[in-house]
Structure 1
Amino acid sequence: MKHLSRAFDGENQWWKFVVVILVALGVGQIVGAIPLIVVMGISIAKNGGQVATPENPMDLSAYGINPSLGLALMVIPFIVTLVLAIVLIKSFHQRTSKDVVNGGQAFRWNRFWLGVVVWGAIMLILFFAQLAISPEELEFRFDPAAFIPLVFVAVLLIPIQSGTEEFIFRGYLAQGVAGWTKRRWAVILIPSVLFALLHAANPEVKEHGFWMMMPSYFVFGVAFAITAVLDDGIELAIGIHAVNNTLGALLVTSKESAIQVPALFFQQETDPVKESLVLVLSSVVLLVVFKLILDWDFSVIWKKIEPESV
C-alpha cells in the first residue's frame, strides 16, 4: 500500500505542512474570491447600492447574481487552492499530484466512478424514500430556465471543489499524519476532525448549532478517510464527495443550505438529528458495499504503517 507510505521520504517535516496548507487555503480563497467580489460589486452598483442582506450569506441571488453564475464563482477559490497546493507540495516535498492521490499511480478513474455510482445510488434511494414517505416536506420548484444551466455548472465544477478538499485532507494531510504517527486510525481521525472544523462557518452550523452539525461533518469525513485508507488512494473518496455535493445541489435545497441554487425541490424545515442518523447508517452501508465489491480487510486500519512497504 503506497499511498500512506509515500510519506516516508524525508520530506515530512511538520512546518512544511503548515506553510503549504495555510498558503494554499489562505491565498487560494482570497485570490479566488476576487472574481466573486467584483461581480458582486457590479451587481450592487447596478441596483443603486440598495441590497437586502440575505439571511443566508451564501444566497448570492440577494445581490442580483444568477445562482448558476454564483456557484461557478464560488468554485474558483477551490481551483486556485488546488493549483497552489500542487505547486507548493512539489516544491516543499518533491511529491507530484499522483503521489498525493495514490502514491504515484495514474488516476484510477474506475475507482472514481465506482464511488459516484454507489453513493449516487444510495442518495437517490434515500431521496425517493423521503419523497414517498413524507412528500409534504418537499416543495417541487422546477424552473427549466434556471435548472438546466445549473446542471452543467454543477456537473462540471462541483467535482473540482470536492476533489480539492479530498486532495488536501485525505491525500496530503493524511500522508503527513501517516509519517508522524505511523497509525492508520490516526490518519482517519485527525484529518476528519480538521475537515469538520473547516465547515464550521457553513450556514447549516449557524442554523442548527455547532455541536449539532459537527458530528455529521466528522462522520462523513471518517467515511471518506476509511475508503482512502483501505483503497490505498483517494479516488473513491473524490467520487463519493463529488456526487454527494452535485446531487445535493440539484435535488434539494433549503434556506440554510451552503449551496443556494434553484434545485428541483425546496425543503422548508430540516431535522438535523434525523439527517445525522441517516448519514451514519448510509455511510455504514457504503463501506459494507465497498467491502463486498473490493474485498476490503478492515483489520488493516489497526496495523502500523511500515516505511519499507513503499
Structure 2
Amino acid sequence: MKHLSRAFDGQNQWWKFLVVMVVAVIVGQIIGAIPLIVVMGVSIAMNGGQVATPENPMDLAAYGINPSLGLALMVIPFIVTLVLAIVLIKSFHQRTSKDVVNGGAPFRWNRFWLGTGVWGAIMLILFFVQLIISPEELEFRFDPASFIPLVFVAVLLIPIQSGTEEFIFRGYLAQGVAGWTKRVWAAILIPSILFALMHAANPEVKEHGLWVMMPSYFVFGVAFAVTAVLDDGIELAIGIHAINNTLGALLVTSKESAIQVPSLFFQQETDPVKESLVLVVSSVVLLVILKQILNWDFSVIWKKIEPPTIADEA
C-alpha cells in the first residue's frame, strides 16, 4: 500500500496541510476566478449593464458569455489550484506529484483508461435506459454550432477539473488522514465527507436541499476513495471522475446543473432521490466489475496501514 504509506515520512504535520489547503484551494480558486470575473464584467458592460440575474448562478449564458468559453473559464481555478498544490506539497512535504498520485510510480494510464471505459459504459447504459423508459423527461436540443465546440472544451479541460479534485481529496488528504490515523477506512471516510461538503454550494443543493444532495456526493466520494485504496493509487478514480463529468456535460443538463452548457438533452425535472439510489447501485456495480478485473481484496479496507519497510522502498 505504497500510496497511503507514503505519508509516513515525518512531514505529516497538521499545520502543513492547513497551509496547503488554504493557499492552494481557497486562494487558488480566487485567483483562478479572475479571468471569469473580467470576462463577465466586459460582457455585462457590452450589454449596457442590463443583465437579468439568472436563477442558476452557473448559467453564464445569461451574462452573454458563450457556454463553451464559460466552461473553459470555470476550469481555470482548478488549473491554478493544481499547480499551487503541486508546488506547495513539494515545498512543505517533500513529496512529488507522483508520490501523491500513487506513492511515486509513473502515472498508470492503463488504469485511467480502465476507469474511463468501465464507468463510461455504465453511464451510457443508464442514459439509454432512461431514454427508452422515460423519453418524455428528456428534450433533445442538439445545436451543432454550440455542441461541437463544447465537445472539444469538455474533453480537453473537464478531466483537469476532475483530476484536481482527485489529487486533493483521494491523493493528498487521504495520505494525510492515513498518516494520522493509520486506518484505511478513515482514509476513505474522512476525505469523502470533506468532498461532499465542498459541493455544498452547488446549484443542485440550493434547488433540492443539503440533506437530499449530500448523500449523492458522499457516495460518489466513497466510490472514488475505495478504488484509490484498493488500486494503490488515484488513476482509476481520476478516469471515473473525468468521464462522469465529461459525459454528464455532453449528454444531459438541467436548470439546476452545476455545469450549464448546450448538452444534447435537457432534463425538465429531476428526482434527486431516484438519482441517488441509481448512483448507489451503479457504484456498487462499478466496484464489483473492477474487483473482477483487478482481483481486489476488499478486506484491505479494514486493515491497519503500516510504515513502509526497506524492502518496500527498494
The TM tier, using the shorter chain, reads over 0.9
**Do 2:6 and 2:308's aligned partners in 1 also have CA atoms closer than 8 Å?**
no
Which one-letter code corresponds to 1:264 in the other structure?
Answer: L
Q: How well do the aligned residues superpose, as a CA RMSD in angstroms?
A: 0.5
Tell me what 2:5 maps to: 5
Which one-letter code corresponds to 1:44 in the other structure?
Answer: I
Cα distance in 2 for partners of 1:225, 1:292 equals 18
Tell me what 2:14 maps to: 14
Which one-letter code corresponds to 1:285 in the other structure?
Answer: V
Tell me what 1:128 maps to: 128
Matches within 5 A, 1:185-200: 185-200=185-200
Q: Structure 2 unaligned runs (5+)? A: none
**Do 2:108 and 2:235's aligned partners in 1 also have CA atoms closer than 8 Å?**
yes
3-state SS in 2 of match to 1:307: coil
Which one-letter code corresponds to 1:68 in the other structure?
Answer: S
Per-residue CA distance 1:194-241 (angstroms, 9 max, x = gap): 000000000000000000000000000000000000000000000000
Tell me what 1:253 maps to: 253
**Do 2:2 and 2:308's aligned partners in 1 also have CA atoms closer than 8 Å?**
no
**Do 2:159 and 2:243's aligned partners in 1 also have CA atoms closer than 8 Å?**
yes
Per-residue CA distance 1:152-207 (angstroms, 9 max, x = gap): 00000000000000000000000000000000000010000000000000000000
Per-residue CA distance 1:273-304 (angstroms, 9 max, x = gap): 10000000000000000000000000000010
1:214 aligns with 2:214: yes
Cα distance in 2 for partners of 1:140, 1:186 equals 43
Q: TM-score, normalised by structure 2?
A: 0.98
Greater than 4 Å deviation, 4+ residue runs: none
Cα distance in 2 for partners of 1:15, 1:8 equals 16
1:55 aligns with 2:55: yes
State the shift of 1:38 in Å.
Answer: 0.5
Cα distance in 2 for partners of 1:98, 1:78 equals 18
State the shift of 1:27 in Å.
Answer: 1.3
Tell me what 1:240 maps to: 240
Cα distance in 2 for partners of 1:132, 1:20 equals 47
Cα distance in 1 for partners of 2:66, 2:228 equals 36
Cα distance in 2 for partners of 1:38, 1:54 equals 18
State the shift of 1:308 in Å.
Answer: 3.0
Q: TM-score, normalised by structure 1?
A: 1.00
Cα distance in 1 for partners of 2:273, 2:97 equals 38
Tell me what 2:300 maps to: 300
Q: Structure 1 unaligned runs (5+)? A: none
Cα distance in 1 for partners of 2:28, 2:250 equals 26
Matches within 5 A, 1:81-92: 81-92=81-92
How many correspondences in the alignment?
A: 310
